Amino acid sequence: MRSHDSVWQGCSGNWQPLFIREYWLPIGHAAWQGFLTQGRGMVVCEVAGATATVDWGRTAVAYTLGFVAQASLVSYWGSLDLAVDQQLSLDEAIATYDPTQDAILLLLADSSPAITCLQGWAVPPPECFRQMGNRAAEFSLTPQP
């Protein structure tokens, strides 16, 4: 029997896949927009609140998305507590990922930083960017005229 995605999964520390599943469209949008404006790099997502208590299928979570360009990574590493070998492997991943199909994501929340290379998207980053542009009113919190 397949278990349901629920609060208990967050308690085990595996909230990241559930967050990505719920917020893949804005993540892909940020990845492509960052690539278009800054070149290769990684999406940085800061998730507010306690991730262990979230029911990911029902609760909207406050988060902020940003993009760190490859050229700015050396200075950015100082703000994180990553080991040198982690920095090197992440630098290599950023230098070699396919921005038309993949994204490098750093998730920051109430647990250790989580870094992942998102590959094989059914809707790749350029399409996420296009869809969010076409559906901007759905993602806006301000009233539309």
Q: Is 1 within a domain?
A: no
> Which DSSP string do the residues of 18-60 spell out, in sequence order?
HHHHHHHHHHHHHHHHHHHHH-SEEEEEEEPS-GGG--TTT--
In a domain, 118, yes or no: yes
Q: Model's pTM, two decimal places?
A: 0.81
In degrees and rounded to multiples of 5, residue 130 shows phi and psi of -65, -45
3-state secondary structure of 119: coil
Domain containing residue 52: 7-133
Instruction: For residue 73, tell me if it sits in a domain.
Output: yes
**Domain membership flag for residue 67:** yes
- Is residue 136 classed as helix, strand or coil in its secondary structure? helix
45 has pLDDT over 70: yes
Burial of 73 (0-12, 13-18, 19+ CB in 10 A): middle
Q: Which two tokens stand for residue 32?
A: 């492509």
Average pLDDT along the chain: 82
Mean local confidence (pLDDT), 1-15: 45
Element of type H or E holding 64:
strand 63-69
> Tokens for 5?
């995605």
User: Is 87 among the domain residues?
Assistant: yes
Q: How many domains does the chain divide into?
A: 1
| pLDDT tens digits, 82-109 | 778 888 888 899 999 999 999 999 998 8
- How many angstroms separate the Cα of 91 from the Cα of each of 13, 69, 83? 25, 11, 12
Residue 45 lies inside a defined structural domain of this protein: yes
For residue 138, tell me if it sits in a domain. no
In a domain, 30, yes or no: yes
Helix (H, G, I), strand (E, B) or coil at 107: strand
